[in-house]
Amino acid sequence: MARRKKGEAVSGWVCLDKPYDFGSTQAVGKVRWLYNAQKAGHAGTLDPLATGVLPIALGEATKTVSYMMEADKAYRFTIAWGTATASFDREGAVTATSDVRPTREAVEAALPAFVGETLQVPPAFSAIKVDGERAYDLARAGQEVELKARPVRIDSLKVLDQPDADHIELEMVCGKGTYVRALVRDLAEALGACGHLSALRRTRVGAFDETRAITLENLEEMRHKPALLEALLPVETALDDIPVLAVTDEDAFKLKQGRPIVLVPRQVDMLKSQLRVGSRSVSAMAGGVMVALCEMRAGRLEPARVFHLD
């Protein structure tokens, strides 16, 4: 006899406004507990010292987490000039100091060199694995960690404000795997200064942005109320840039069985015009409910992820 899963079959996304000094895993555990959900996961770790958008998937939404990991992200952050640290943020031990305080104009002139496809060496204090161990565990143990440069993509980078000579606030939109702390390190080096990340807020992950974000305090206040379920965003929110095809009940039944469905030529043409370059992913919906995430191949939709949301 199959073991009954603990918790409720709750499915959807919570766009959490993660608080300061709170780990991403902690946040997932708290949200899962509040909803008494059977499954939970998140789309993109945020450091404990960072705040902002942390999309948390519950139930069937966990099947779309891998697609969210590819989503563009936006950050607002502050650099403090004068000291460099081992972790490139304000928690690390000071490794160097400098009297250089770059002007706003100097920073703005340096930013274009970091926009576009570039190579970036991740921070030693990161979750990247080295010989099976997390780099930050090795770094904290005093071991020297050498990580290879990796390709990253920065779409935009601009100065928002310079409140005083010691601090400057910037905004960045980037692709996956881009480290703000590493950017701060490289920018400071390019300007002949010492600097570290003093504040970081993620303002967007794909379709999830600050306008949709909700705090843990608000979720806790809603507990045991219908409003808690109303705070859930639909499973398909994570797939906002993937074409949607409405299918018949008969085709929905086939897809749920793991069987492909045949498309008519006009459907193929319509979907091709909406697909992103290099993508074959299509969302199949029936009666406004997500049925499957499919791959379009040779005039057919083949189910890659099947959803049970009825």
Residue 170 has, within 13 A of its CA and on its CB side, a CA count of 24
- Of these residues, 47, 89, 186, 251, which one is catalytic? 47
Q: Active site includes 47?
A: yes
- The answer to whether the beta carbons of residues 211 and 15 sit under 8 Å apart is no
- The residue among 164, 171, 166 whose CA lies nearest residue 188 is 166
Closest CA to 88 of 56, 59, 61, 122: 122
In sequence order, the β-bridge partners of residue 168 are 79
Total length of the chain = 310
Question: Mind telling me the catalytic residues?
Answer: 47
